[in-house]
């Protein structure tokens, strides 16, 4: 008999409604009292039509199979009081970059991303996959400045940025929900990213993202 991890999680959360609640919650990484299935829709999110958006369906096959480094997934990690951090995850190695942004408006987000992405070596500037958030409405300016094509996920399909979604879950250990995130400097964010990039991953045969990307590029990565 085989039981999926989702069934185990659901069982634990059902038990957590009773006398075991407090004891179990102490061992859960996210401290959530309810389990949200991966199939749950992202209702209530602010999504508008983005002019000139290129669908993820047009993304090259080399991006999908993760064989070539340099293709990124991105999103905003929200804190309280309308504060945000931009998160970028490289699909091949799961290498993480965190970017300080002044706000959620497209000018603030795109200018911060341009500055960060232009620091990367050319071979790591392949593409960026984002959701339908209005913060990337100025994606054309981003592409002109970086030569990185932006692809947009289908509506209510966060699983199309699976690496980024998983990483954002890990980041909640450092940036809990309900707390502002504008008090962190870029140097602080770099330190958090370095910790995640130094953590071995099962999906990488227990190499760390930094080791995986360095091995692929044949160079040592810093920052």
- 86-114 per-position pLDDT tens digit: 999 999 999 999 999 999 999 999 999 99
Tokens of 159: 């699983």
Are 123 and 192 spatial neighbours (Cβ–Cβ below 8 Å)? no
Report whether CATH 3.30.450.40 matches the domain 56-217: no
Whose tokens are 């232009």? That residue is 118
User: Does the pTM of the predicted model rise above 0.85?
Assistant: no
Residue 165, pLDDT score? 94
Q: Which residue blocks in the chain are alpha helix, DSSP H?
A: 5-15, 21-25, 61-64, 106-117, 139-146, 162-171, 186-197, 209-217
The mean pLDDT of the chain is: 85
> Tell me, what DSSP letter sits at residue 203?
G
Residue ranges of the chain assigned to CATH 3.30.420.10 = 56-217
Residue 46 pLDDT: 42
pLDDT computed for residue 10 by the predictor: 64
Q: Residues 32, 36, 37, 43: is their CA dihedral positive or negative?
A: negative
């Amino acid at each position: 008999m085989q039981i999926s991890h989702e069934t185990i999680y659901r069982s634990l959360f059902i038990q957590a409604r009773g006398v075991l609640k407090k004891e179990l919650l102490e061992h859960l990484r996210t401290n959530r009292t309810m389990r949200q299935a991966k199939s749950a829709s992202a209702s209530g999110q602010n999504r508008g039509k983005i002019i000139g958006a290129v669908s993820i369906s047009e993304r090259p096959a080399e991006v999908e199979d993760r064989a070539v480094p340099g293709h990124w997934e991105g999103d905003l990690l929200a804190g309280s009081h309308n504060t945000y951090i931009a998160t970028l995850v490289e699909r091949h190695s799961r290498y993480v970059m965190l970017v300080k942004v002044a706000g959620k408006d497209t000018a603030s987000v795109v200018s911060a991303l341009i500055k960060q992405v232009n620091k990367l070596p050319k071979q790591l500037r392949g593409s960026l996959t984002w959701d339908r958030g209005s913060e990337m409405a100025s994606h054309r300016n981003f592409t002109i400045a970086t030569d990185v094509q932006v692809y947009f996920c289908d509506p209510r399909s966060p699983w199309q940025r699976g690496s980024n979604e998983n990483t954002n879950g890990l980041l909640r250990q450092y940036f809990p929900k309900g707390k502002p995130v504008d008090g962190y400097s870029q140097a602080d964010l770099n330190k958090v990213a370095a910790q995640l990039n130094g953590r071995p991953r099962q999906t990488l045969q227990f190499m760390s993202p930094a080791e995986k990307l360095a091995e692929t590029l044949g160079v040592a990565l810093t920052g």
